[in-house]
Amino acid sequence: MIVIDGSKYEGGGSILRTALAYSLTTQKPFKIINIRKNRNPSGLKNQHLASIKLAQMISNSAVENAELGSETITFYPNKIKKGTYNIDIGTAGSITLLLQSVLLPIIVSSKKISLRLKGGTDVNNSPTFDYFKYIFLNSIKEYSDFKIELLRRGYYPKGNGRINIEINPKYNDLDRGEFKKIDYYNLKNYIKVTLRVNASKHYDEFFLQQINEYFKLLSSEFKKHNIDSSVITSYNDSDSKGGSYTIEIQYYDNNENVKIIGDSDVFLNEKPQSIVENAIMRIKNIVENKIVCDKHLSDQLISFLSFFGGRIKAEEITEHVKANIYVSNLFFENKIFYDEEKKIIFLNEKIE
């Protein structure tokens, strides 16, 4: 039985989600104590109970003490079975965070699975739907085909967003060695910047028009660096007022492979100019500092690095990264190491 201290490093929900992913992948049971100890209130919330429920549904796994507010659970994994599954988080809890707990084990199981999910699609402290679709899923396309459909945006507090996703793994035990390793380590040059902005129809008709105007004005300097720039805007139905923006930055690595990194955030009462200024500031930071893998993507890639190997030159070794590495090294014999000064993350190899 693997025992995990949920108060380690960032001490939040990612430790539980990572543990569920690794347990289903390795078929090793775990007990986690001090769940979300660094959050107020601590313990399980609806978001985390939904992750546990989804892990159970797709595998007939058993769990003890999974109830609201619980700071300790024990999870006994079972084999994943193909099928179509429906789950409602019941709040505006993040659907994209929910998926972090099952993507790796589904891919490794080689079982085709369809999920119909209800909750928040664009909420604070989690990847937006667009970040998940255009950046994260792109980073793991080597391992699975994905069909993902946004039916309705869900903002805080009502949520009620809806996403359908079909996961069709390319993986099986016989050809694991043929898969590419995770490799976000080299940068040749940036080639394209895209800003995606979505707003609920609670905003007036000029809101997105102003977004377009400000972006074109403030992003003109990227042309000096031979970086194409564009903005994509859309209104969407939602029960709550809200909006989000997602930054996509494409670059060539040293092998002429196109990589996509970026960032995302949500907004409520901010003015269009402020939203664009914040996005441009973030883009400049990434470009001027020659970031190879943004801090959010490096966090989400740890589970795939632990299984497929590889290396990451991270923007920052965050507490989330450290927490996910901590859990990974409890489940797998191959260990993940990191150099906090050089911002390098790697599996079982020394990087000079």
Q: What is the pTM for the complete model shown?
A: 0.94
What pLDDT score was predicted for residue 32? 95
Catalytic residue among 48, 225, 296, 320: 320
Helices (H), the chain: 13-26, 46-57, 95-100, 103-109, 129-131, 137-139, 207-218, 272-288, 295-308, 319-331
Q: Are 121 and 128 in contact (CB under 8 A)?
A: yes
Dihedral, CA of residue 287, residue 257, residue 130 and residue 147, to nearest 10:
180
Rounded Cα–Cα distance for residues 252 and 256 (Å):
5
Assess whether 320 carries a catalytic annotation: yes
Contacts of 121 (CB under 8 A, 6+ apart): 94, 95, 96, 128, 129, 150, 152, 153, 154, 155, 161, 163
Rounded Cα–Cα distance for residues 188 and 174 (Å):
34
What pLDDT score was predicted for residue 43? 84
Instruction: Quick: pLDDT tens for 140-193.
Output: 999 999 999 999 999 999 999 999 999 999 977 556 667 889 999 999 999 999
What pLDDT score was predicted for residue 42? 84
pLDDT per position in the chain (352 positions), as tens? 999 988 888 878 889 999 999 999 999 999 999 888 878 788 888 889 999 999 999 999 999 988 888 889 999 999 999 999 999 998 899 999 999 999 999 999 999 999 999 999 999 999 999 999 999 999 999 999 999 999 999 999 999 999 999 999 997 755 666 788 999 999 999 999 999 999 999 999 899 999 999 999 998 888 888 899 999 999 999 999 999 999 999 999 999 999 999 999 999 999 999 999 999 999 999 999 999 999 999 999 999 999 999 999 999 999 999 999 999 999 998 899 999 999 999 988 655 4
Q: Which of 351, 15, 14 is nearest to 183 (CA)?
A: 351
What pLDDT score was predicted for residue 164? 98
Rounded Cα–Cα distance for residues 191 and 169 (Å):
30
Q: Evaluate the CA torsion angle 304, 305, 308, 311 in order and state its sign.
A: positive
Domains of the chain are 2-181+294-347 (3.65.10.20), 190-279 (3.30.360.20)
Rounded Cα–Cα distance for residues 142 and 310 (Å):
13
Tokens 């039916």: give the residue. Answer: 151
Contacts of 57 (CB under 8 A, 6+ apart): 85, 87
Q: How many residues does the chain have?
A: 352
Residue 127 tokens read as 């990847």
Residue 63 tokens read as 């769990």
What pLDDT score was predicted for residue 224? 81
